[in-house]
């Protein structure tokens, strides 16, 4: 089966539920130049083939793309043909569908949110509005170059439709404007040029029809003509987000990046993901943790110092045929860890006020004398907590639940970054190892807490932001305060 899927206009949040489901199930994803490559993160283990086109540069000709679709489909694969916007709105989806029909191959069309409507909406411009616009038309700004002459009925469309939306028309803007004015559209008609619509890099230029060609803007952009453009000043909402346009680097592990990225995107941030760590099995293949789980009733307290530790521990617990009833007293280093425990049916008995090892040790001081403690944590971690508990008279068993490994991200323009976030000492150390200490000094930094801040300082970097609450929410709040918003 071949699915011709619309990827939407750019904002990954505008991807449809069906598109997400198909990307996760796909064996092969054949994709165009997308406005947001994060969409490809929904692909589980699919083979990804880029066939995109840009001005003057075609990876494959359309005929070759058609043949590629057929070749992959004939191998009994689930093939997703991923297109920006909607497959049937200047996406050549019709041509591909006809080719598949000719070859007796099954296909399905999955519509996407078209930029023709979504991009003006993100700019605060409704394509229709009572009293102003009862009709709109979507027009290509780049006709098939092999046609002997234009098939756009300029004499009809110029004045018959209230709102005109031209896609892919920046290069041909002088000709478009000339045709519209020649056929009766008033030169002073309000107009807008919108670049990178629905993305944090969105740029909107308000103008008039006659003045539009003099505006400097490069693709990808759409051209909107009509009285509805005047509503932007009242309806603009996207650019009014408190951190709109800021580029912030997120260095969390790839599997953990979503919460921080989502929170920042909600504030209008352009998030640049640069994972520096990945979570892996401990070096002993859970030998110590499994041994502790087999004797779980022998521990008076189990202490968790991260959400990762909770997740890995409970995965092993289930493998041994046990559940939350096997635990006695439980302590969590902070709110995020306590929330993860709550998802597993456990309410932490102790959560310190400050989410660091020193505070957790102090909170347990009067409860652990003569007790057996299991500490499920990362393989490499500070010894502050186990040493303090031993000083309080506890018998401590440290069982690695996971380890962190460095991950090197794709090339990133660090000079364009406004701020970089670090959520653990590991993210700092691995970033420095992968990109060099000098890269750390190219931008202001934000640390999730004092321990991470100390690690930054050890590299000669004084963090501009240190969260007062050592959580993702606390970090986002501190970043907002840093920018005074």
**Could you tell me which residues come within 8 angstroms of residue 197 by beta carbon, excluding any fewer than 6 positions away?**
9, 10, 115, 118, 119, 120, 122, 123, 221, 222
Catalytic choice (36, 168, 312, 340) = 168
Cα 120 from Cα 238, distance rounded (Å)? 11
Choose, from 53, 77, 278, 365, the residue flagged as catalytic.
Answer: 53
Q: Does the annotation mark 473 as catalytic?
A: no
Residue 369 has a CB neighbour count (10 Å cut-off) of 11
DSSP 8-state class, residue 331:
E
Cα separation, 87 vs 93, in Å, equals 5
Q: Other CB atoms closer than 10 Å to residue 172's CB: what's the count?
A: 18
Whether 224 and 197 have beta carbons less than 8 Å apart is answered as: no
Annotated catalytic residue 462: no
CA–CA separation, 208 and 190 (whole Å): 5
Asked if the peptide bond before residue 61 counts as cis, ω within 30 degrees of 0, the response is: no
Catalytic position from the list 32, 36, 86, 162: 32
3-state class (DSSP) for residue 157: helix
Backbone angles phi, psi at 373, to 5 degrees: -120, 135
The DSSP letter of residue 324 is: G
Task: Look at residues 338, 301, 354 and name the one whose alpha carbon lies nearest to residue 474.
Answer: 354
Gap between the Cα atoms of 343 and 329, Å rounded: 17
Residue numbers annotated as active site: 32, 53, 168
């Amino acid at each position: 089966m071949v699915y011709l899927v619309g990827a939407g206009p750019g904002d990954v949040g505008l991807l449809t539920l069906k598109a997400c489901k198909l990307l996760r199930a796909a064996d092969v994803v054949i994709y165009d130049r997308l406005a947001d490559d994060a969409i490809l993160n929904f692909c589980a283990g699919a083979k990804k083939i880029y066939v995109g086109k840009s001005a003057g540069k075609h990876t494959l000709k359309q005929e070759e793309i058609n043949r590629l679709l057929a070749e992959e489909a004939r191998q009994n694969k689930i093939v997703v043909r991923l297109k920006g916007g909607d497959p049937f709105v200047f996406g050549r989806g019709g041509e591909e569908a006809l080719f598949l029909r000719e070859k007796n191959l099954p296909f399905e069309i999955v519509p996407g949110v078209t930029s023709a409507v979504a991009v003006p909406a993100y700019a605060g411009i409704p394509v229709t509005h009572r009293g102003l616009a009862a009709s709109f038309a979507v027009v290509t700004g780049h006709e098939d170059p092999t046609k002997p002459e234009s098939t756009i009925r300029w004499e009809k469309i110029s004045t018959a439709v209230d709102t005109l939306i031209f896609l892919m028309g920046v290069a041909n803007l002088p000709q478009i404007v000339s045709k519209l004015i020649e056929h009766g559209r008033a030169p002073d008609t309000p107009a807008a040029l919108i670049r990178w619509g629905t993305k944090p890099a969105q740029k909107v230029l308000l103008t008039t029809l006659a003045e539009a060609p003099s505006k400097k803007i490069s693709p990808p952009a759409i051209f909107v003509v009509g009285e509805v453009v005047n509503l932007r000043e009242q309806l603009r909402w996207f650019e009014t987000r408190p951190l709109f346009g800021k580029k912030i680097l997120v260095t969390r592990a790839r599997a953990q990046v979503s919460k921080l990225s989502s929170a920042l995107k909600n504030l209008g941030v352009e998030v640049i993901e640069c994972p520096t760590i990945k979570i892996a099995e401990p070096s002993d293949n859970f030998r110590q943790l499994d041994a502790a789980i087999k004797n779980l009733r022998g521990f008076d307290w189990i202490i968790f110092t991260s959400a990762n530790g909770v997740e890995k521990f409970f995965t092993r617990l289930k493998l041994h045929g046990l559940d939350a009833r096997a635990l006695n007293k439980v302590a969590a280093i902070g709110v995020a860890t306590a929330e993860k425990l709550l998802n597993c049916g456990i309410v932490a008995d102790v959560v310190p006020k400050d989410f660091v090892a020193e505070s957790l040790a102090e909170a347990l001081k009067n409860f652990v004398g003569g007790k057996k403690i299991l500490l499920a944590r990362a393989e490499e971690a500070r010894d502050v907590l186990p040493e303090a508990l031993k000083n309080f008279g506890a018998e401590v068993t440290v069982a690695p639940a996971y380890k962190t490994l460095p991950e090197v991200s794709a090339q990133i323009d660090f000079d364009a970054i406004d701020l970089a976030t670090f959520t653990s000492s590991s993210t700092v150390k691995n970033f420095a190892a992968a990109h060099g200490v000098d890269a750390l000094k190219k931008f202001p930094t934000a640390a999730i807490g004092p321990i991470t801040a100390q690690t930054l300082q050890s590299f000669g970097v004084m963090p501009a932001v240190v969260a007062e609450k050592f959580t993702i929410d606390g970090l986002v709040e501190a970043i907002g305060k840093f920018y005074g918003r």
